[in-house]
């Protein structure tokens, strides 16, 4: 039996290596230069707006107009906490396999062209999102097919959250970002005390 269209969604699978060079550069820089974010930028040249905290790793692909959200692997969480406590972690490698969620990078762009009816295009997209939402519940075959088809078109709305068979959520609102306690990457900050 062939693969159905709803299983065809592929998220980037990336092997990331945190080398001694990246670790040393992170120690001598300020919090905007997270060791994991710098390694992702090196391994995924198309990645923009890379964000790393203890819960999530996120980046945008401007060509596809999507934002990938992965759960932060345990090895990265441990390395970030070691780094935060002032201990230089050992070089390590990790794999980002399946994104937890895929959303659009930008929903309302400045200078975005108007739709045929003269309204901003994002308002028209919101109405289209409502049609996708009404296509059935989040687990229905029709809804998954509509969301999977929309992901291939950078201008198409993704609608409300739809769960694929692979376990990736397409569309919806992204999960909340941790506050500064999970994002500040200054060597020896010691935010996490046992």
pLDDT at 36 over 50: yes
Q: Find the mean pLDDT for residues 160-174.
A: 80
Q: Find the mean pLDDT for residues 15-41.
A: 84
pLDDT in the model for residue 134:
58
pLDDT in the model for residue 15:
96
pLDDT at 31 over 70: no
- Domains identified in the chain, total number: 1
The alpha carbon of residue 152 and the mean position of all alpha carbons in its chain are separated, in whole angstroms, by 16
3-class SS string, the chain = CCCCHHHCCCCCCEEEEECHHHHHHHHCCCCCCCHHHHHHHHHCCCCEEEEECCCEEEEEECCCCEEEEEECCHHHHHHHHHHHCCCCCCCEEEEECCCCEEEECCCCCCCCCECCCCCEHHHHHHHHHHHHHHCCCCCCHHHHHHHHHHHCCCCCCCCCCEECCCCCEECCCCCCCCCHHHHCCCCCCCCCCC
pLDDT at 23 over 70: yes
pLDDT in the model for residue 164:
78
pLDDT at 185 over 70: no
Tens of pLDDT, residues 63-82:
888 999 999 999 999 998 88
Integer Cα distance of 80 and 68 in angstroms: 21
pLDDT in the model for residue 54:
86
Q: Find the mean pLDDT for residues 117-126.
A: 55
pLDDT band at 40 (very low <50, low <70, confident <90, very high): very high
pLDDT in the model for residue 109:
47
Mean per-residue pLDDT of the chain = 75
pLDDT in the model for residue 172:
81
Between 54 and 2, where is the model more confident?
A: 54
- What's the pTM? 0.74
Between 171 and 72, where is the model more confident?
A: 72
Q: Find the mean pLDDT for residues 181-187.
A: 55
- Phi/psi region, residue 65 (left: phi>0; alpha: psi -120 to 50; beta: rest), is left
Between 85 and 189, where is the model more confident?
A: 85
Contact 177, 51 (CB under 8 A): yes
Residue 95 belongs to what domain range? 1-194
């Amino acid at each position: 039996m062939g693969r159905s269209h709803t299983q065809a969604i592929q998220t980037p699978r990336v092997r990331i290596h945190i080398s001694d060079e990246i670790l040393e550069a992170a120690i001598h820089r300020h919090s905007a230069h997270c060791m994991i974010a710098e390694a992702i930028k090196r391994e995924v040249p198309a990645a923009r707006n890379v964000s790393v905290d203890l819960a999530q790793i996120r980046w945008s692909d401007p060509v596809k107009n999507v934002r990938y959200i992965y759960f932060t692997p345990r090895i990265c969480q441990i390395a970030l906490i070691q780094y935060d406590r002032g201990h230089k972690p050992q070089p390590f490698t990790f794999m980002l396999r399946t994104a937890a969620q895929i959303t659009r990078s930008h929903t309302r762009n400045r200078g975005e062209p108007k739709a045929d009816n003269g309204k901003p295009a994002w308002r028209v997209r919101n109405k289209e999102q409502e049609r996708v939402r009404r296509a059935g519940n989040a687990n229905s075959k029709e809804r998954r097919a509509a969301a999977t088809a929309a992901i291939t078109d950078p201008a198409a709305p993704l609608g409300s959250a739809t769960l694929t068979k692979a376990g990736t959520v397409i569309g919806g609102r992204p999960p909340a970002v941790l506050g500064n306690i999970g994002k500040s990457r200054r060597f020896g900050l010691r935010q996490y005390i046992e």
